Amino acid sequence: MEPKKRKVVLTGGGTVGHVMLNKLLIPGFINRGIEPVYLGSKKGIEKEIIGATSIKYYNISSGKLRRYLSSENFKDIFKVMKGIGDARKVLKKENVEFVFSKGGFVSVPVVLAAKSLGIPVYIHESDITPGLANRIAGKFATRIFVTFKRTLEYIPSDKAEYIGPVIRDELKRGYSKIGYELTGFNPDKPVMIVMGGSLGARSINQFIRNNLDELTREWQIIHLCGRGNYQEGLDRDNYKQFEFVKKELPHLITISDIAVGRSGSNAIYEFLLNEKPMILIPLPRSQSRGDQVENAEYFKEKGYAEVIQDEELDMEIFQQTLTRIDSNKEAIVDCMCKFEGGFKPQELVDLLITKEAQQ
């Protein structure tokens, strides 16, 4: 008789940040002879991203978790209850060893279903303060891994473990020669990389495009504008648009002198580990729970970045911020060099398997 196939469930969704780490872990599990299975929503970004891989994907029902009073909250209780039932069926059918959750509202019914079946749950929290989904799911977790040391203040000490950021090692293997070939840029003029492809980055994209003439006098700009946001007629010698990049990203980061964008934890740690000074423009509290504001302020405190609030973004303030970074660049990079920590995806897979073996 063939030995039973080892399996784990991955879950998380709603934003790219709640999905990409799970995607990075997939090869690591497969390399260890363990089959990853994904539980996500029927229409979320996780279905698009994970659907492009070869692993099994199961749709489950999920309600939206709101931080405000709404009649929809009552309706969504039933969606979550159905989601728990959906998840229980999959967990029993696949006979998984444990669940790894990255957060987002779709993860809550999966975690609750796992707890009801006695299946261990491991959670990863990227932001300083846990989101609502992870605050709920964390009550039922076996272990919660965190990216920021400060997050330990918000999680019971018997469950929390600091591991730092999970690093995409390939981002540190870029080649300047390829970066300049991709852009056609001049190696003697400084390069700014703008991450405008994230959810809610429209104001950053618009600001860069409205001020292209002035910005490109001093800078060459790599603009990662996001799918569907490419604007015809703007490309010029000192400005290059990309809707989306994959294997090109390490080379583009390598030739960049400064990074501009939102302050999702995955992206800002990638710039930190590549020692790129940053101008962070966090998604405002009016459009979020404030996690990006907290991330940005933390990076400013550490000396890694300057921060401009979205509602204050204009050319005068932006130029003043660029000047501050330019005059302090050596000190900023020195702070970045001193950062220690971080896991490669395979190392996190090994840690999860080890923790489970110790249960």
241 among annotated binding-site residues: no
**31-59 pLDDT per residue, tens:** 999 999 999 998 888 998 998 899 999 99
Dist CA 58 CA 260 (whole Å):
36
Place of tokens 């009801």: 116
Q: Take residue 262 and report the two structure tokens written for it.
A: 């939102």
Kindly write down the DSSP assignment for every residue of 51-117, as one continuous string.
HTSSSEEEE---PPP-SS--HHHHHHHHHHHHHHHHHHHHHHHHT-S-EEE--STTHHHHHHHHHHT
- pTM score, two decimals? 0.87
198 among annotated binding-site residues: yes
**103-157 pLDDT per residue, tens:** 888 999 999 999 999 999 999 999 999 988 899 999 999 999 999 999 999 999 8
pLDDT band at 102 (very low <50, low <70, confident <90, very high): very high
Q: Collapsing DSSP states into helix, strand and coil, what is residue 250?
A: helix
Residue 215 has pLDDT above 90, yes or no: yes
**289-344 pLDDT per residue, tens:** 778 999 999 999 999 999 999 999 999 999 999 999 999 999 999 999 999 878 88
**Domains of the chain listed by start with CATH number:** 7-167+342-358 (3.40.50.2000), 170-338 (3.40.50.2000)
176 among annotated binding-site residues: no
Residue-averaged pLDDT of the chain: 90
∠ at Cα 129 (40, 8), nearest 5°? Answer: 30
Residue 173 has pLDDT above 80, yes or no: yes
